[in-house]
Amino acid sequence: MAVPKRKQSNSRTGKRRSHHYLKPRQLQLCPQCGQPKPSHVVCPNCGYYMGRQIVEVAE
C-alpha cells in the first residue's frame, strides 16, 4: 500500500484548506417590498415569492 514518505507541512495543509472558508450569503432586493433577502427564498418581510403571496405576514 502506498504511504507518504514525509509528513505534510502545516503551510502545505493550509494552502489546501485555503478555499474552505464560509462565503457570505448572496442577497437580492425583493421586487415587492425592496428589502434584501436570500435568492430563491420567500421574502420574510412581505411573504412574496416570484410575484405571488405565499406566506401571510402579520403586520
pTM for the structure as a whole: 0.57
Q: Determine the average pLDDT of the residues in 31-48.
A: 92
DSSP state of 1: -
Cα-based torsion angle of the residue sequence 11, 14, 15, 16 in order, rounded to the nearest 10 degrees:
130
pLDDT of residue 43: 93
Confidence of residue 38 (pLDDT cuts 50, 70, 90): very high
* Mean pLDDT, range 31-54, rounded to an integer: 92
Separation CA 35–CA 44 (nearest Å): 9
Beta-strand pair 36-38/27-29: antiparallel
- Res 14: pLDDT: 97
Please state, in angstroms and rounded to a whole number, the distance separating the CA atoms of residues 45 and 28: 13
pLDDT at 42 over 90: yes
